[in-house]
Amino acid sequence: MTVRFTTIFICSLFVFFGILNIRFIAASVRYWLAPGTIISSDSLSQAKAFPLAQDVFTRPLPSNARLVIDSLGVNAPIVFDVPPDNDIIYKNLERGVVHYSNSVKPGQPGAAVVLGHSSAYPWYKGKYGSVFALISKLKPGDKFYVQYEDGRLFVYSVRQSIIFNPFKPDGRLSQLETTDRSSIVLVSCYPVGTNYLRIAVQADVVES
C-alpha cells in the first residue's frame, strides 16, 4: 500500500508540474525535434540582409526593437523605458522581454540587461510567459540578434552563462555588468518552474 501510494503521489507531481509548465515542455519538444532550425512564424526573415550597425554614436537608438534567437524559436519585442521597479517590470513582461532601464541599450558600449520569463502558468495573460525557457541551451559561439525599427541590426555571439542566487552577493555579476565591450546579458529564472536561482547568458556584439 505504501509503495502504491508513493508511486501515485510521484506520478501526480510529474503531471502537475507538466500542466504548470506546458509551454516549456512544448518548446523543448520543438527544440529537440528540429535543433537549431526553429524560426517563429513572424521572424524577421530579412533582418540578416541589413549591415551590422556602427553608428550608435551619431544617431540615437529608437525604443522599438526585437530580440531574435532563431535556434530557440525566440522572436520577442524588447520593452524599453520600464522603471526599475519589480512589480512594473513583472507586468511589462506580458508584452515581451524587458530592457532593464539602468543599463545601456543593446548595441551601445557596455552591458545591456534584458529580462524574460522562463516559465509561467497556463493561464498567464501574455504570450511571452516562457520566452526564455530554453536559454540555458545557448552555448559559447551561438549567435542571435537585436534589430531596431529603423533597420539597425546587432549580431551577438554567446560568450558565457552563469547560474547565480539573486539573494546573495556574487562577484561574477559585476564582471558581466562592467565591461568595455558592447554586450547583452539575458536574465531569467532557473531552473524552469522555480524562481530560486537565475541564469544569465552574456553575449558580445560581433564586429563587422
Q: In this predicted model, which residue has the larger pLDDT, 166 or 26?
A: 166
Collapse the DSSP code of 69 into the 3-class scheme (helix H, G, I; strand E, B; otherwise coil) and give the result: strand
Phi, psi torsion values for 147, nearest 5 degrees: -125, 130
pLDDT, tens digit, 9 for 90 and up, residues 143-171: 999 999 999 999 999 999 999 999 898 88
CA proximity to 139, closest of 186, 66, 203, 74? 203
Structural domain harbouring 161: 2-205
pTM of the full structure: 0.80
DSSP, res 205: E
CA proximity to 164, closest of 203, 190, 135, 127? 190
d(CA 81, CA 99): 8
Answer whether residue 33 shows pLDDT above 60: no
For residue 23, what are the contacts with CB-CB under 8 A and spacing of at least 6? 119, 120, 122, 129, 130, 133
Q: What single-letter amino acid sits at 53?
A: A
Domains in the chain: how many in total? 1
- Residue 117's beta-bridge partner residues? none
CATH label of the domain that carries residue 77 = 2.40.260.10
pLDDT, tens digit, 9 for 90 and up, residues 83-92: 999 999 999 9
- pLDDT number for residue 148: 96
Answer whether residue 189 shows pLDDT above 80: yes
Q: How far apart are the first and last CA of the chain?
A: 67
- pLDDT number for residue 21: 53
Average pLDDT over residues 15-24: 51
Collapse the DSSP code of 52 into the 3-class scheme (helix H, G, I; strand E, B; otherwise coil) and give the result: strand
- pLDDT number for residue 24: 55
- pLDDT number for residue 198: 96
- Block residue for cell numbers 507531481: 13
Q: In this predicted model, which residue has the larger pLDDT, 44 or 165?
A: 165
Q: Are 114 and 97 in contact (CB under 8 A)?
A: yes
Collapse the DSSP code of 72 into the 3-class scheme (helix H, G, I; strand E, B; otherwise coil) and give the result: helix
Report residue 44 as a C-alpha cell: 524577421
DSSP assignment of 104-173, as one string? PPTTSSEEEEEE--S---TT-SSS-TTTTTTGGG--TT-EEEEEETTS-EEEEEEEEEEEE-TTS--HHH
At 186, the pLDDT band (50, 70, 90 cuts) reads: very high
Average pLDDT over residues 109-138: 89
- 94 C-beta neighbours (distance < 10 Å), count: 16
- pLDDT number for residue 174: 85
